[in-house]
Structure 1
């Protein structure tokens, strides 16, 4: 009986102390995550995703682990009026729970593709 209790206690300790990893990258339209890595979450902290918008157009996302110095604080429609940017930050604490941002809008993809084409044409 004591052996079974010891086995259950060991299993619970392993489950509770399991490492939680978060995605860590800057995600930009068309190119996706730049410098994709993962980070190990410190105890008591959360993974975070900050999506940045110009109006309704998604510009980029910052995915990372929260730290004691910069913990995750959820915020929605936080604005920088000088730049016209809006920030939405979400927090989570499950393994790989901070998913990449939404796909870019078709209009943004068209603009970026056109600018790339123009740049290539100018270099030619």
Structure 2
């Protein structure tokens, strides 16, 4: 009886630990996550976070699960010369390890958005 109980508990622990979830969303400044969801990792895959920058300003982030078709590949300072964007991708494989960073204060968001808008208006 004890052996059966131990086997059942071991199976349950393995089953629970295999259910690793990742955050999944597009995160943009001011708005935060758009279409927030979670996804379950398949065996051998990893959660990933890609941050996209224009200069030093983050434009958006993409959080998701890697897939066999698009596995996570860490990359830092990848640049798209046409658009002038820089991409940083990080990988992890623990439950919700690509967690959402806390949002800046709303006042700071408003100031940064206003300054960006003013800068674009002055350029035209």
- How much has 1:92 moved relative to structure 2? 1.0
Residue 84 of structure 2 is aligned to residue 84 of structure 1: yes
Indicate if the aligned counterparts of 2:24 and 2:62 stay in contact, CA closer than 8 A: yes
1:7 aligned to which of 5, 11, 31: 5
TM-score in terms of structure 1 length: 0.77
Aligned residue in 2 for 1:16:
14
- How much has 1:11 moved relative to structure 2? 2.4
Two-structure CA RMSD over aligned residues (Å):
2.4
TM-score in terms of structure 2 length: 0.77
Aligned-partner Cα distance in 2 for 1:79–1:53: 9
Indicate if the aligned counterparts of 1:21 and 1:38 stay in contact, CA closer than 8 A: yes
Indicate if the aligned counterparts of 2:52 and 2:60 stay in contact, CA closer than 8 A: yes
Residue 30 of structure 2 is aligned to residue 41 of structure 1: no
Unaligned regions of 5+ residues in structure 2, if any? 118-124
Q: How many pairs align?
A: 113
SS in 1 for 2:11: helix
